[in-house]
């Protein structure tokens, strides 16, 4: 894997600086609010972040917009829209909530709105009638995504589908592979407009037998964001035991080689949900992200 990737492409040089590093603010969500995180990232000379909606809401959208602009931060993405599946009584909520996410992403000047598409309706939009039908649920995703895409195009906000690891298929995202995501893109946006594509997260896709073919098929037009962390062995929790890059078993350099071979030259966004890293001081987490970005990604 490494041999193939390195034969195809010389990786961008991360060793000297960290100008391609972005910090997903969920990585620091327990240590401070968005204002604290923006401040710490600016001090660490990090150029980009990807904030979450609840963190923006907690300090207010207008203040978040000002903070980000004053700090000169780029936004590699905005997390997150999606959670499309809903029963008829909850469809309007799903639609309106997603439109607001697009508007917020535009106000913040984000490069894309990241979409976690949702699982079965009872988990995506609580209160919805329970279902075990994942095929129908996937059709609900396509309907909701198509409706949102129509709106997002009018605003000019690219939508980035994030295929999630299959262990989240029931409750968070029933779109679980790059190939499945691209099939959706191809149906809704047949001539790639740059307005619909993928957020490719190493944690979610590393295991896929069709990984390298999927990344190549994604291409530059559909590769809207690239996220990294690591897969720990053992993994002690399905949600909050992701690893710092280098601490797990993902061949991150081979993966980045494949991603960059598409022509992708955007940010490498660190997103770590981890009870362990959430318990450490913000500055220690950031300095570790910077060091590992130079050596392990």
- Does residue 7 belong to the site contacting its own copies (CB under 8 A)? no
Q: Rounded to whole angstroms, how far apart are CA atoms 256 and 5?
A: 8
- Does residue 177 belong to the site contacting its own copies (CB under 8 A)? yes
Least distance from C-beta 166 to its own copies, angstroms? 4
Write the interaction track for its own copies spanning residues 23-52; mark x where CB under 8 A is met and - where it is not. ------------------------------
Distance of CA 195 to the CA centre of its chain: 15
| Residue number, 157 or 211, with CB nearest to its own copies | 211
| Residue number, 54 or 133, with CB nearest to its own copies | 133
Angle between helices 34-43 and 61-70 (to 10 degrees): 10
- Does residue 208 belong to the site contacting its own copies (CB under 8 A)? yes
**Checking DSSP bridges between strand 74-75 and strand 78-82, what pairing results, if any?**
unpaired
Least distance from C-beta 92 to its own copies, angstroms? 25
**Helix (H), strand (E), coil (C) string for 237-263:** CCCCECECCCCCCCCHHHHHHHHHHCC
Least distance from C-beta 232 to its own copies, angstroms? 9
- Does residue 209 belong to the site contacting its own copies (CB under 8 A)? yes
Exposed, middle or buried: residue 74 (CB in 10 Å: 0-12, 13-18, 19+)? middle
Residue from 15, 127, 249, 287 in contact with its own copies (CB under 8 A): 249
Q: Rounded to whole angstroms, how far apart are CA atoms 200 and 191?
A: 20
Binding site for its own copies (CB under 8 A): 1-2, 120, 123, 132-136, 138, 165-167, 169-171, 174-177, 179-180, 206-209, 212, 231, 233-236, 238, 249-251, 254
């Amino acid at each position: 894997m490494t041999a193939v990737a390195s034969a195809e492409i010389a990786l961008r040089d991360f060793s000297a600086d960290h100008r391609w590093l972005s910090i997903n603010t969920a990585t620091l969500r327990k240590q401070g609010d968005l204002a604290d995180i923006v401040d710490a990232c600016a001090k660490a000379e990090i150029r980009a972040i990807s904030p979450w909606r609840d963190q923006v809401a907690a300090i207010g959208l207008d203040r978040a917009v000002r903070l980000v602009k004053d700090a000169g931060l780029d936004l590699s993405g905005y997390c997150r829209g999606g959670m499309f599946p809903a029963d008829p009584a909850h469809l309007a909520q799903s639609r309106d909530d997603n439109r607001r996410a697009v508007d917020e992403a535009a106000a913040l000047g984000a490069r894309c709105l990241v979409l976690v598409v949702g699982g079965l309706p009872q988990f995506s939009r609580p209160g919805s009638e329970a279902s075990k039908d994942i095929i129908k649920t996937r059709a609900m995703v396509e309907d909701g995504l198509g409706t949102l895409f129509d709106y997002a195009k009018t605003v000019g906000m690219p939508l980035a589908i994030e295929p999630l690891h299959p262990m989240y298929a029931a409750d968070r995202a029933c779109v679980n592979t790059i190939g499945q995501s691209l099939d959706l893109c191809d149906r809704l946006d047949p001539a790639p407009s740059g307005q619909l594509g993928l957020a490719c997260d190493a944690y979610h896709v590393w295991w896929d037998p069709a990984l390298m073919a999927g990344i190549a098929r994604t291409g530059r037009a559909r590769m809207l964001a690239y996220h990294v962390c690591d897969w720990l062995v053992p993994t002690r929790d399905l949600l909050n035991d992701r690893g710092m890059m280098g601490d797990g078993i993902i061949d991150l350099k081979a993966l980045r080689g494949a991603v960059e071979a598409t022509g992708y030259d955007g940010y490498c966004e660190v997103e770590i949900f981890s009870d362990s890293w959430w318990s450490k001081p913000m500055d220690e987490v950031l300095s570790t992200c910077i060091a590992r970005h130079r050596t392990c990604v």
